[in-house]
Chains A and B, each alone.
Chain A
Amino acid sequence: MDRNSQLEPIAAAVKDGDDEKARSLCESALQAGVDPREIIQKGLSRGMHEVGELFGSGEMFVPELLVAAEAMNAGISVLLPSLKGADDRKKEKVVIGVVEGDVHGIGKNLVKVMLEADGFEVLDLGFDVPAEKFLEEVSGSGARVLALSTMMTTTLPNMRKTVELAGNLQPKPVTIVGGAPLSEDLVFEMNADGFARDAAQAPGMLRSVLSR
């Protein structure tokens, strides 16, 4: 069996949100001697990319994206033990969270999944996160990217404050933001470096900001 015939069904299982199948196919691929990094890149991540594209074009929706993420994570859980030591490339770290006062985590979770599928290492602080906690994590982890989310207009000032405080860090992290109440005007006004309308756009936007 060639590599593609082993990896394509893994991508398809992710796309179908079939976590059991993703898990068992990853196990089989590992047993057949496929490099776990290749399984991730050409199987799991590829499937997630396809889902992201369909989501971006309005052909797939949040529930399907969420079950695809579950399938991807199921596959990764099988590969993790084999990845220790094997995956020594330095990944770009992203600290992500929902700003203080806001408890809506779904958008942040989707962005996290899309960034992970794109090869970023995401440190998730959850929701209702104070500005100080974000800064502490960025400084402590050496992350170059800070990703903030909010779904409420009442917590926009907390996002603004976090972006402002992050601007005083040395080195200054790249700050990206997202959420329903945001517009490009607001993002510009709060001096954030990047903004994506939906989770599918987040990896491309971040790569573009980082390459500036």
Chain B
Amino acid sequence: MSVYPRIAGRLVRPTPGMLKLGAGLFALQAKALPLLPLERVLAALYHKEPDRVPVVHFLLGGARRLTGISYEEFSRNPDAAVEAYAAMTEMLGSDAYYNVIDLSVEAADFGQEMVYPSYSTAHPNYMNPLIKTPDDYNRLETFDPRTTPRMGMVIKVGRMLSRKAGIKYPVLGFCFGPLGVLAMMRGAQALFIDCVRFPEKVKVALDVITEVLIDFVRAQCDTGVDGVMLDTLFAAQSGISRDMWEEMEGKYARRIADEIRRWGALVTLHNCGNRPYFDLQIEYMRPDAISFADLPDDCDSMRELKEKYGGKVALVGFVHTHEICSKDAGEIMEVAREQIKALAPGGGFILAPGCEYPPNAEFLNAMAMTRAARIYGKYPIR
């Protein structure tokens, strides 16, 4: 949203206490009147029951199809990206704007060579990683992300989306976690091996990347985004062990999360790994919400997830992308209904895909998610 005033050049945001109070008032209002998306999301994030379950679709590169632009244009032209996001939000009835271009934005500005395919999301040229040997980790240098092409674009898009959102939509920024950024410059396989064999060399790069990412989230917060989503992909059983995550990412991610919080913005996490480590991520980053694709490593059911974590963090998820690819709209509504029934009572739940909405998938299933939120997600949940 763009309504935060500036004092001495700095955005002034409501305190968490004020937000909590506002969320309570919106929950009261919801008993009589429909809420705006911003009000709905705020109530849900603060564990109050809005008028209905909010829904976001994480349709990123796929949004380009609505405005007829190429992947490359979406990845490099801020005006085109904002137009695509706005069209997508309106068409699908999403309850938030989010500013996620792709996962290689940060790596590209460190100097990683990129590929911009016509049929898919931009990605690093894996044949030419920036970090070719363990001795290259100390080659990374800090820079001002406001001045670089891709992170600079994300900052610009954040400003434009915040302006466009007004008081209607919340806006969410995005930052890939330090280990993820490094994987984009070294290749995940080589990075994993280096984490075992040369952890101290890897940490030299992580220190530099973290400095830049702290500045990146600071710049995003200054655009007026309401929160920043930090992607800690490897904090899951499909990534690395709990101990390794604490050592190689947890302490760095904590500094980034603290910076987001220091600027008064919401800290949200995204982790689409299998069996994510909710407890560790909450301990290190104290997030307001976690977007996820699978049950945490210490929960065996949605019910257990709600009982264990529903009071600590808002849950954002978790229609799996393979279901979006393989099921029809009716089946997706059924999946969503089950999740709403288990996770939405009492608030603290936003319906979403577990990861990026498959960019080339049909939009019908995204619409089915919205429909499910409107029909089955009406509070009180029955």
Interface residues of A (CB under 8 A from B): 17, 58, 60-64, 66-67, 70, 101, 103-106, 109, 127, 152-157, 181-183, 185-186, 189
Contacts and interface: CB of A to CB of B under 8 A. Distances in A.
Contact of B325 (A62, A127, A153): A153
9 contacts: A61-B244, A62-B238, A62-B240, A63-B195, A66-B192, A66-B193, A67-B196, A106-B189, A153-B322
Contacts of B188: 104, 106
B323 A61 contact: no
A101 B120 contact: yes
B326 interface: yes
B323 A183 contact: yes
A70 B197 CA distance: 11
Given A103-B126, A154-B120, A61 B239 contact: yes
A87 to B, nearest CB: 28
Nearest to B272: A180
A147 B141 CA distance: 41
Interface residues of B, number: 33
Interface of B: 117, 119-121, 123, 126, 188-189, 192-193, 195-197, 237-241, 244, 275, 297, 320-327, 358-361
Contact of A153 (B192, B240, B359): B359
A108 to B, nearest CB: 10
B63 to A, nearest CB: 14
A156 B120 CA distance: 12
A187 B243 CA distance: 34
Given A61-B239, A61-B241, A155 B323 contact: no
A182 B360 CA distance: 15
B359 A63 contact: no
Contacts of A60: 241
B359 A154 contact: yes
B322 A183 contact: yes
A77 to B, nearest CB: 17
B193 A63 contact: yes
Nearest to A59: B241
Instruction: Count chain B CB atoms within 10 A of each CB in A58, A154, A183, A185 and give the residue with the most.
Output: A154
Given A62-B192, A67-B197, A154-B359, A101 B325 contact: no
B206 to A, nearest CB: 15
Contacts of B320: 183
A57 to B, nearest CB: 10
B119 A63 contact: no
A181 B358 contact: yes
B326 A189 contact: yes
Contacts of A70: 193
A154 B189 contact: no
Contacts of A62: 192, 238-240
Contacts of A103: 123, 126
Contacts of B297: 58
A1 to B, nearest CB: 30
B358 A153 contact: yes
B239 A156 contact: no
A63 B197 CA distance: 10
B357 to A, nearest CB: 9
B314 to A, nearest CB: 25
B274 to A, nearest CB: 8
Contact of B121 (A109, A154, A181, A183): A154
Nearest to A100: B119
A181 B239 contact: no
A181 B240 contact: no
Q: Which 5 A-B residue pairings sit nearest by Cβ, starting from the closest?
A: A153-B358, A63-B192, A183-B322, A185-B326, A61-B241
Contact of B119 (A61, A67, A154, A181): A154
Contacts of B359: 153-154
A70 B189 CA distance: 12
Instruction: Count chain B CB atoms within 10 A of each CB in A58, A153, A185 and give the residue with the most.
Output: A153
Nearest to A103: B126
Nearest to A182: B322
B275 A58 contact: yes
